[in-house]
Amino acid sequence: MKKKIFSLIMVIVTACIFLSFFFFTKGLHSLVQEIKTLDTSWIILAVTCMLLFWFFEMLSLYVITKKLYNIKNLLVRSIKFQMTGLFFGAISPFSAGSNPAQLYAMTENEIPAGMAGSILMIKFMIHQFINILILILAFLFKFHYFNSRVDYFPYLCILGLSIHVIIMVFAVMFSLNSKLTKSILTLIFKVLKKTRLMKNTEATYNKIEIELENFHENAFLIAKHIKMCIYASLFTFLQYLAFFSIPYCIYRSFGLNTADIWTLISAQIFLTNFMAIIPLPGAAGGAEGGFYLIYNMFFDASTILTAIFVWRVLTYYSTIAIGGIFTLVLPNAKKRP
C-alpha cells in the first residue's frame, strides 16, 4: 500500500510541474484554443500509434514467455505484466523500475523467479539490440542532416549511444557470468544486512541463489530458440516504429507537411537516444528540452510548445495513466476467482 501511495505522489508531482510550466508559459486559454484547432484525424492516428506501441511491447513479452514457460491466460496476464513494467519504468530514473516490477508481477502469477528473470533478460537484450540497430540506421541516413542544424548534436549522439552499448555489454555479462552476478548479489545483501533493511537476509539470499542457478542455465535459451527471438525482434521493431511515428502525426495535425515522415521519425530516434542520459523519471525536463532542440526546425515559435505538450501527454503521461490502472487497480491474475 505504501509503494502505491508513493508512486501516486510521484505521478501527481510530476504532472503538476509539467502542467504548471505550460500554463504559465503558454497560458491555459491559448493552449486549449490551439489544441482545438488540431486535425483530429492525425491526433487519432497518433493515439493509435501509442496503442500499437503498447500492443507490440506486450506481444514481444508474450512470445518469449509462451515459448519458455507457458501458463493459463498468458495473453491477458502479459498485458498486466507489460503495463505494470511501463508504469514503474515511467516513474523511475532511467526506467530502472520496469524490469523489477515485471519480475514481481510474473512471480506473483506463478512464474518462478529464475525463469521470469531469464524471460525479461532475453526481452531486454532484444530491445537493446533493436534500439542500437535503429539508431545506427538513423546515423547512416540522417546524421549529416541534423548535425548541420542542431547544436552539439555529435556529442549528444555519442553519449547516448555509449550508454546503450554499455548497458548491453553489462546485460550480456550479467547473463553469462555467474561469478559476476554472485559477487554483485553478495555485495547487495551485505549492505542490506548491515543497514538492517531486510530481515532474514541469509534465507533470502539462499533462495535467490537457487533461482540464479536456474537463471544462468536459462540464459543460453536465446541461442536455442532463434525463431522465438526473430518474432520478438520483429514485434520490438514494429513497437519502436509506431512510437517514433507519433511526432510526425502531431506535426501533420498542425497542418504542416513540408518535412517527410522519415526525417521526423529519425528526429524521434535521436531524441529517445538523448533522453537515455537524463537520470530523472521520464527524463523530465530533458525530454521537453530535447524535443524543443530538435523539432524547433519543423515547428514555428507559436506552435512548438503546444506540440511538446501534446507529444508528452501521448507518449509519457498516457503510459502513467493506463499503466497505473493495471498496477494500482487491477488485481493479480492468481487472486482472481
Q: Which residue has 555485495 as its cell numbers?
A: 187
> 55-69, 122-136, 149-163: which has the highest mean pLDDT?
55-69
- Taking only Cα atoms into account, the Rg of the chain, rounded to an integer number of angstroms, comes to 21
Q: Return the half-sphere exposure (C-beta side, CA atoms, 13 A cut-off) of residue 238.
A: 15
Q: Which residues contact 249 (CB under 8 A, 6 or more apart)?
A: 42, 43, 45, 46, 49
Q: Which of 272, 283, 228, 222 is nearest to 247 (CA)?
A: 272
Q: Which residue has 511526432 as its cell numbers?
A: 247
Query: Residue 291: its pLDDT value, please?
Result: 94
- Give the mean pLDDT of the chain: 82
Query: Residue 193: its pLDDT value, please?
Result: 57
303: number of Cβ within 10 Å: 19
Q: Cα separation of 67 and 226, whole Å?
A: 11
Query: Residue 304: its pLDDT value, please?
Result: 92
Higher pLDDT, 301 or 21: 301
Check whether 1 has a pLDDT greater than 50.
Answer: no
The model's pTM: 0.84
pLDDT per position as a tens digit, 267-293: 999 999 888 888 777 777 788 889 999
> Mean pLDDT across the stretch 292-313?
92
Query: Residue 201: its pLDDT value, please?
Result: 54
Query: Residue 197: its pLDDT value, please?
Result: 46
